[in-house]
Structure 1
Amino acid sequence: MRNLPAVIREQPLAVPKLALRNSPIVPPRSVTGRSLVVVITIMAFLASLTTGVVYLINQSASAWLRDVASEVTVQVRPAADATQTEAKLAEISDFLSKQIGIADVRVLSQRETNALIEPWLGKVEGLESLPLPRLIAVQLDRENPPDLPTLSVALEGEFEGAMLDDHGRWQAQIRSLTSTLAVAGLGVIALVALATVAIIVSATRSAMASNREIVEVLHFVGARDRFIAQQFEKHFQTLGIMAGAAGAGLAALVFVVFPLLPSLFGASPATDAELRRLVGAGTLDWLGYALLVLVVVVVAAICRITSRFGVYRILDQQNR
């Protein structure tokens, strides 16, 4: 370029815009492009998988909270005589049934109460002889729930040895666990985004270095920095869309296959039921798949914006 005559250097050649538009600077099927698609596909897969898992956990936690919040438990200290205990349970059950906002009241039998304790104590001989509190399950009206503090005071004032448990501690623990997992998921997604930015910056520098002569010729014939930057933007945006769609598609396939894994590995129906209770059905609904599509959009935007700033920075350094 510097060896050209001064007249030619000072008067850029007029090149039709159509020729510039149809001549891509970065070869779309280069080895670097294919390698970059593979790397970004992995990043998009990790981001989509993390997004889907966090969404499933949040949905399951919301279902747990709805179930826990819609039911309270009344603990009744047993009397010395079993007959008196049953009569007291009947009185408390009748009292609760007449309260506003109570949908259903059910007295748990002694066997059901012992079954709730067995996971912690195991099968202990003579468990029936222990003075364990009797339980009453109270189903609340979700549309018009009662004032639980007022109900608790009225219940304890009316019946000695009765205590209302609103499961507030369990709700707080579920919310804390869900928030922790959500923050951890956002941290993983942020790390994937930073890694993608670093990869795009490196790829942009490599593409600019390998096409340095073409960029200089474009400058010589009158192309502006904006035109050159747009070529790189389109190239990396296309790579981002392809890689993001591939990564999100693989993640969607994982969520489709996941519910089939327990039966494929020979898990018992009880284990399968517990797993479904923990993470739900394991499949995404339409909103979950919409989030995966959003991941593709974000990956493409990261590729486009990062390449734009990278190209402008390199061009500014070359023009100095």
Structure 2
Amino acid sequence: MKVTWKFDNLPGRLAERVRTSPWVAVVSGLARRQAGSGTAPIVQPASVAGRALTVVIAIMTFLACLTSGAVYVVNQSANDWFADIASEVTVQVSEGQGSEFEKKVTLVSLFLAKQPGILRVNPLSAEESGKLLEPWLGGSDVLSALPVPRLIAVEIDRSSPPDLNALRESLESNFKGVTLDDHRRWQAELRTVTRSLVLGGIAVLMLVGAATVASIVSATKSAMASNREIIEVLHFVGARERFIAHEFEKHFLNIGIRAGLVGAFGATVVFLLLPLTMRLLSGRGLAAAEFRQFIGSAVLDWPGYLLFGFVVVVVATLCMLTSRFGVYRILKSYD
């Protein structure tokens, strides 16, 4: 008895699958249009509904690219902050006056430099410590009258970090009024903000996707209604549902690609102009510097722009699949 395997003629079936793919059909249709040949499609591409749907999908793609780009920029800035925070700890010296205070800062710095896992110790001067408070207290002479603690920036070896709990206990036992801050609270708050922004971006993308699906479903019903006579004739003379659905797939995939590219191009222009716009609007004050330090330079790198291409592919595929299932559902109602 001859056994027939499911993998028989696999290359031929794969070739047939690729040949009948809507993506290949769109490319070959464009080539035939350039050559001035080819049969007339069932769905006319230059209809008013088609142009309106193109505008809607272009706007949706633009919003999706803006949202994904903004989430990407915020995530990259947060990662940079995490890297900076994880590689440094801060030691605060809060008790002491005059030369004794300076001597205490020096002793604490020398003590830290001898500890394993510490690469560099940078004690900040009184002026540098005061400048850190200027965004909140201003640059008046009040700072000189306040007991501003001295800060020591400590860079740790991330490959072999020190035991921060043991280091904290050692500092507190050897020096009075000296505390160590490992920025865990700031890391937790930054993670919370980043996750909230990412979740908000995902929610916006889901809304954009739902609006796009609803628009395509409405456009599919409109196209099916306007071409009902042609579709019924094709259906009754023996045309397969796959052939009719394939024609609609090509139409809506073509719209999705063209509209997606327009929307992605608009988002690209926005992100190219965003750094210049931020410099013009934020000014040069301390608040502007803190704002730029928090969100970064708002420059989108090449993986971010590749993300726009991925959004275009997703939008075009969404157009194709939504129209396919919509056509199948409507055709079944004709039976």
Structure 1 window deviating more from structure 2 (66-75 vs 254-263): it is 254-263
Runs of 5+ in structure 2 lacking a partner? 1-37
In 2, the alpha carbon distance for the partners of 1:309 and 1:279 equals 42
Q: Secondary structure at the match of 1:137?
A: strand
1:121 to partner: Cα distance: 2.6
Counterpart residue number, 1:221? 237
In 1, the alpha carbon distance for the partners of 2:136 and 2:291 equals 20
Aligned match of 2:169 in 153, 166, 186? 153
The C-alpha deviation readout for 1:144-181, integer Å capped at 9, x for no partner, is 32221221122212222211011111111111111001
- Residues 262, 272 of structure 1: 8 Å contact kept: no
Counterpart residue number, 2:128? 112
In 1, the alpha carbon distance for the partners of 2:193 and 2:66 equals 19
- Residues 236, 304 of structure 1: 8 Å contact kept: yes
Q: Secondary structure at the match of 2:132?
A: helix
TM-score, normalisation: structure 1: 0.87
- Residues 42, 247 of structure 1: 8 Å contact kept: yes
- Is 1:244 matched with 2:260? yes
In 2, the alpha carbon distance for the partners of 1:117 and 1:264 equals 25
Aligned match of 1:140 in 156, 171, 186? 156
Counterpart residue number, 1:15? none
Q: Secondary structure at the match of 2:154?
A: strand
Listed as ranges, the matches of 1:35-184 within 5 Å are: 35-79=52-96, 81-184=97-200
Counterpart amino acid of residue 112 in structure 1: E
- Residues 119, 156 of structure 2: 8 Å contact kept: yes
Question: Over the residues paired in the alignment, what is the CA RMSD in angstroms?
Answer: 1.9
1:244 to partner: Cα distance: 0.8
- Residues 78, 134 of structure 1: 8 Å contact kept: no
Runs of 5+ in structure 1 lacking a partner? 1-20
Counterpart residue number, 1:14? none
In 2, the alpha carbon distance for the partners of 1:116 and 1:159 equals 24
Counterpart amino acid of residue 278 in structure 1: F
The C-alpha deviation readout for 1:107-166, integer Å capped at 9, x for no partner, is 111222222223223345453343332211111223332221221122212222211011
Q: Secondary structure at the match of 2:120?
A: strand
Structure 1 window deviating more from structure 2 (146-155 vs 174-183): it is 146-155
In 2, the alpha carbon distance for the partners of 1:164 and 1:274 equals 24
1:276–1:114 distance in 2 versus 1, CA, 3 Å? closer
Counterpart residue number, 1:232? 248
- Residues 95, 176 of structure 2: 8 Å contact kept: no
Counterpart residue number, 2:43? 26
- Residues 54, 256 of structure 2: 8 Å contact kept: yes
Q: Secondary structure at the match of 2:133?
A: helix
In 1, the alpha carbon distance for the partners of 2:40 and 2:47 equals 15
Counterpart residue number, 1:16? none
- Percent identity at matched positions? 55
Q: Secondary structure at the match of 1:99?
A: coil
TM-score, normalisation: structure 2: 0.84
In 1, the alpha carbon distance for the partners of 2:298 and 2:126 equals 35
1:267–1:190 distance in 2 versus 1, CA, 3 Å? same
Listed as ranges, the matches of 1:198-213 within 5 Å are: 198-213=214-229
In 2, the alpha carbon distance for the partners of 1:69 and 1:313 equals 55
In 2, the alpha carbon distance for the partners of 1:256 and 1:279 equals 16
Listed as ranges, the matches of 1:184-199 within 5 Å are: 184-199=200-215
In 1, the alpha carbon distance for the partners of 2:304 and 2:145 equals 51
In 1, the alpha carbon distance for the partners of 2:288 and 2:134 equals 21
- Residues 64, 208 of structure 2: 8 Å contact kept: yes
Counterpart amino acid of residue 83 in structure 1: S
Counterpart amino acid of residue 223 in structure 1: A
1:265 to partner: Cα distance: 5.7
1:58–1:203 distance in 2 versus 1, CA, 3 Å? same
Structure 1 window deviating more from structure 2 (157-166 vs 208-217): it is 157-166
Q: Secondary structure at the match of 2:151?
A: strand
- Residues 282, 288 of structure 2: 8 Å contact kept: no
Number of residues paired by the alignment? 298
Q: Secondary structure at the match of 2:92?
A: strand
